[in-house]
Amino acid sequence: MDNGFLSIKELCQRIDVKPHTLRYWEKEFGDFLKPCRSKGGHRRYGEEDLKVLLKIRELVKDRGYTIKGARKVLGSGEVNSREEENSLKEGNYFQGKKILITGGTGTVGREVTRRLLFLNPSVIRIYSRDETKQFDMSEEFKDVDNLRFFIGDVRDAERLEMAMEEVDIVFHLAALKHVASCEYNPFEAINTNVYGSQNVINAALKVNAEKVIFTSTDKAVNPTSTMGATKLMAEKLFTAANYYKGRRRTVFASVRLGNVLGSRGSVIPLFKNQLLNGKQITLTSKKMTRFIMSLRQAVDFIFKASFLARGGEVFVPKMPAVKIIDLVGAIEDVLGYKNGIKEIGVKPGEKLYEELMTRDEERRSLERDDMYIILPPKQLSNSRFSYPGAYISKGNNHYTSEKGEFLGKAGIKKFLQKESLI
């Protein structure tokens, strides 16, 4: 201790967490902490910081609050109802569970892993085919003793079953996700996104897993691309699996995400690199619109869906829509560069706008303030399930990124800065 201030190592010992957990809390709760710097430039923490971090530890690790829930309690100091208390404590659902993440070395998979690690699961198994990414990830989490790595492909049913032995929860993230790549390699897209998903379903049924959550995309709605079509087929497989599982406890559900800004392959790193290197920004079309969400929001939603899933649903978050031309303008303003825009034309399979659900899905969906819940066919009028805060959607809107209110350039700038995306 230096003049009453704690080093990172000392602080980790006092609050009994690993360094990677502290680093993550610094990122998520930074506005509640006020560390200072030593003469050597190292961060030091005072008694007030220690009190805040002990409270965070109590909320997140001991009481199972989500990050969002813990932030709300820290900000207001109180929770107003039992329903709100339960919604803020969805994180304790994972306590003591054995969890498998297919495609776990990807951007979303890593973030899911980071978040799970301080929700006290029994073990997290990372299943992916990229040896180098697994090595890099193992180095990042080298102080974690309940993280396991399995090299394998979802196309390999036998290997997948071995990795899934005794698992409770599966997050199926593995996929071929680039639209252009899938257009030129449709057989590979089918093998991974369709047959690979069926292998995940079969393995989960064989080990009697508790829940399996599939991450889909808004490109699965009225698809024009191979990637979107294969994701839609996988959604259908996950819904259908609930009907032939017999007496097994396994619940299958899907989440349909928008464009996750900050994930591998998203446009922000591309636009940023072009601007900083004095190049024109390449834009497929100035008319293009998209639904967007941050990596943090995507993982929040995946966890929320896994908590709510009863079987066969497709969960769709309510997301802001943006004009890509406004996104470009916001990035230019933040970085202070403006090199011009070059339209290169729409790529094969690409759409000018995205949709959240079809007309038919609207008629059998429930709605909450934060999401839509698309029920399996014929399930709406005779639903056995209930969801906190959900009501029958009016079904008189067509949810597309082409219509409605756009975030606008100022709103996008605020979003990018709030989510530390640029």
Query: Are the C-beta atoms of 269 and 249 separated by less than 8 Å?
Result: no
Query: Which of the four pLDDT bands, split at 50, 70 and 90, describes residue 249?
Result: very high
* DSSP string of 105-152, one letter each residue: TSHHHHHHHHHHHTT--SEEEEEES-HHHHHHHHHHTTT-SSEEEEE-
43-44 and 98-102 strand pairing: unpaired
**pLDDT reported for residue 129:** 95
**pLDDT tens column, 286-303:** 999 999 999 989 999 999
Average pLDDT of span 138-144: 90
Query: Which of the four pLDDT bands, split at 50, 70 and 90, describes residue 285?
Result: very high
Query: Which of the four pLDDT bands, split at 50, 70 and 90, describes residue 128?
Result: very high
Q: How far apart are CA 93 and CA 288, in angstroms?
A: 39
Least confident of 162-176, 259-273, 316-330, 337-351: 259-273
Q: Is 391 exposed, middle or buried (0-12, 13-18, 19+ CB in 10 A)?
A: exposed
Other Cβ atoms less than 10 A from the Cβ of 351: the count is 22
Classify the C-alpha dihedral 179-182-186-191 as positive or negative.
negative
Range from 146-160, 324-338, 364-378 that averages highest in pLDDT: 146-160
pLDDT above 80 for 396? no
Average pLDDT of span 30-42: 77
Query: Which of the four pLDDT bands, split at 50, 70 and 90, describes residue 344?
Result: very high
**pLDDT reported for residue 86:** 55
pLDDT above 60 for 406? yes
**pLDDT reported for residue 381:** 45
**Residue of 219, 304, 323, 413 marked catalytic:** 219
Q: Tokens 């109590």, residue?
A: 58
**pLDDT reported for residue 85:** 52
Sequence-separated (6 or more) residues with CB below 8 Å from residue 45: 5, 6, 8, 11, 33, 35, 53
DSSP 320: -
Average pLDDT of span 9-20: 82
Phi, psi of 157 (to 5 degrees): -60, -40
pLDDT above 90 for 240? yes
263 versus 348: the higher-pLDDT residue is: 348
- Mean confidence (pLDDT) of the chain: 87
Other Cβ atoms less than 10 A from the Cβ of 240: the count is 14
DSSP 61: I
Query: Which H helix or E strand runs over 291?
Result: strand 289-294
Answer yes or no: 347 catalytic: no
**pLDDT reported for residue 379:** 57
Residue ranges of domains in the chain, CATH in brackets: 8-63 (1.10.1660.10), 90-418 (3.40.50.720)
Least confident of 28-37, 154-163, 243-252: 28-37
Q: Which two three-digit tokens encode residue 183?
A: 């257009």
Helices marked H in 277-353 — which ranges? 295-308, 324-335
Query: Which of the four pLDDT bands, split at 50, 70 and 90, describes residue 420?
Result: confident
Q: How far apart are CA 316 and CA 255, in angstroms?
A: 6
Average pLDDT of span 343-372: 90
pLDDT above 50 for 22? yes
Average pLDDT of span 59-79: 73
What's the chain's length in residues?
A: 422
Q: Is 272 exposed, middle or buried (0-12, 13-18, 19+ CB in 10 A)?
A: middle
pLDDT above 50 for 170? yes
Query: Are the C-beta atoms of 32 and 51 separated by less than 8 Å?
Result: no
Average pLDDT of span 49-70: 78
Q: Tokens 């003049």, residue?
A: 3
26 versus 277: the higher-pLDDT residue is: 277
In b/e form, how buried is each residue of 279-301, taking b as 16+ CB within 10 angstroms? eebebeeeebbbbbbbbbbbbbb
One-letter-per-residue 3-state SS of 265-286? CCHHHHHHHHHHCCCCEEECCC
Range from 29-43, 49-63, 236-250, 392-406 that averages highest in pLDDT: 236-250
Q: What is the CA radius of gyration of the chain?
A: 22
Q: Which two three-digit tokens encode residue 413?
A: 């700038």
CA dist 402 → 298, 359, 411 (Å): 21, 15, 17
Other Cβ atoms less than 10 A from the Cβ of 1: the count is 10
Least confident of 53-57, 214-218, 347-351: 53-57
pLDDT above 50 for 380? no
Least confident of 9-13, 20-24, 76-80, 387-391: 76-80
Q: Is 83 exposed, middle or buried (0-12, 13-18, 19+ CB in 10 A)?
A: exposed
Q: Which two three-digit tokens encode residue 370?
A: 């934060």
DSSP 356: S
**pLDDT tens column, 100-111:** 999 999 999 999
